[in-house]
Amino acid sequence: MSVDRSIVGECDDYFSVRLFGQSFILLFTVSLSLIRGFAKVNQALIFIAISTVSNVVLSYLSIHYFGWGLLGVAWATVFGNALGFTFSFFYLLRQREIRSIFWKTKILKKDAFEFGSDSLNIFGRSSFLTFSFFLS
């Protein structure tokens, strides 16, 4: 497509880092869904704001001050989602409904497979979006 080879290299680096960070994006999305399920929408918005602001600030710094280009932007996105997930996860652990069962419940093999089959739709959606992302 007559694209400069240096841009292709930068895009490959960007997509590789984003692929690495996809797990944080999924975990953050799930934790936000749980928080909204507890009717704590304002708290979910705070975690989204923390993630977004850190992403924007680190992206700006990586481009204009450190000269890291697209690679820095990708790492900023991964860091923002990891930070949002970390805050939301510890917030969820403070919820009485989750705290009371989280540390005491044993994970049974049949439960893990049932969870896997229940999450097939979101896995399929995420796989399709990631595949489309890389094709683009």
For the whole model, what pTM was predicted? 0.69
Contact 72, 62 (CB under 8 A): yes
Q: Tens digit of pLDDT for each residue in 8-50?
A: 777 778 888 888 888 888 889 888 888 888 888 899 999 999 9
Q: Tens digit of pLDDT for each residue in 102-111?
A: 666 666 666 6
> DSSP readout, 68-128?
-HHHHHHHHHHHHHHHHHHHHHHHHHTSHHHHHHHTTPPPPHHHHHHHHHHTHHHHHHHHH
Supply the pLDDT for residue 65: 92
Q: Tens digit of pLDDT for each residue in 67-97?
A: 888 889 989 999 999 999 999 999 988 887 7
